[in-house]
Amino acid sequence: MSSLDEAEYPQRILDYMEGFLISKTLFASCELGVFDFLLASQRPLSAAEVAEGLGTSRDGTERLLSACVGLQLLTAHRSHADGGTVLYSNTEMARMYLTKCSPRSLYHSILYSSSTLYLCWNYLTDAVREGRNQHERAFGVSSGDLFGAVYRSDEEMLSFMQLMNSIWNICGEDVVMAFDLSPFKTIYDLGGCSGALARRCLTAYPGCCVTIFDLPKVVRMSREHFISQEDEGISFFEGDFFRDPLPEADLYILARILHDWTDSRSLELLTKVYQRCKTGGGVLLVEALLHEDNSGPLTAQLYSLNMLVQTEGRERKTSEYAALLTAAGFAHIQVRRTGKIYDAILATK
């Protein structure tokens, strides 16, 4: 749309203004189980059948399903055998990314966005005004201990870990294969959470061993819900990477870690990594990289706002990560953009 057209009818502004309507339509559909119910039925269903199966109102369900058709998450067609009743079924995109059983499901990411991120973003104005996260306003918990706030209950911790698990199921392969990591045999995934990235690493490089270094309560949850005995090559190390000594390794992975923290805390952690890293070893950073001229990508710009409302950190430019790595002692810094959400930076000692 040209600037002249936009002066007459501001479609882009209207789209931005009403963007939350789309998000909440997606959130509600997943929370109610629309896509899983349609998948389980193995045939197209009417709004009345979906409403009966989900225990929802027929009118509300029909409106929700219609909106999902508009969003290209569902398809609709009239049944010739049933008086022209409109029947609904999942699109391939919904089946792949919105149903729980799909290996590429984003279902849990969507639930976390709805129950946690959406509430934090309600206080974005306050976050910008004050320059700090909004856990206290959103959830009534102190953010003095950042991950004490993020992991404020077992339920919330599991929800966060499911979010991370689903993200690496769709992005993990790209970042672990951005560089040839096969020379690194001993790998520590700091803040490895659910182990999804560790699993991707082992699939790509079966000759390595990956240890997930995380808080004791996270390790417990990971063992209970995510890592099984079949995941050979994955082990655990319980600790706090700021407070506890780091074991020696060939490679340390920091995936979506540094963006949680200030520059000073990030440098503190990278310095610890450098001191324990074997000569010839390195560190792999996985983050959403901003362009040097502040022009984008939009996803990374929005994620940086999310870091404001949720954490102490920010998304950064390549030059900013390079400066931190250099200050910590690392050299030979390489960058690979994946074309997706997360990019990779490899620095060696």
C-beta of residue 219 within 8 angstroms of C-beta of residue 236: yes
Q: Is 108 a catalytic residue?
A: no
The Cα–Cα gap between 349 and 270 comes to: 12
- CA 279 to chain centroid: 32
- Which residue out of 108, 259, 291, 332 is catalytically annotated? 259
Residue 123 CB partners (closer than 8 Å, separation 6+): 134, 137, 138, 309
**Helical H segments across 177-295, by residue range:** 196-204, 216-225, 263-276
Backbone phi, then psi, for 86, in 5-degree steps? -80, 130
**Helical H segments across the chain, by residue range:** 3-8, 11-17, 19-32, 34-41, 47-54, 58-70, 92-97, 107-112, 118-121, 124-130, 135-139, 146-150, 154-176, 196-204, 216-225, 263-276, 298-310, 318-328
186: left (phi over 0), alpha (psi -120 to 50) or beta: beta
Burial 153-170 (b: 16+ CB within 10 A, else e): eeebbbbbbbbbbbbbbb
The Cα–Cα gap between 238 and 220 comes to: 9
The Cα–Cα gap between 252 and 274 comes to: 9
In degrees, rounded to 5, the angle at the alpha carbon of residue 10 between the alpha carbons of residues 8 and 11 is 125
Q: How many CA atoms lie within 13 A of 73 on its CB side?
A: 23
Catalytic residues: 259
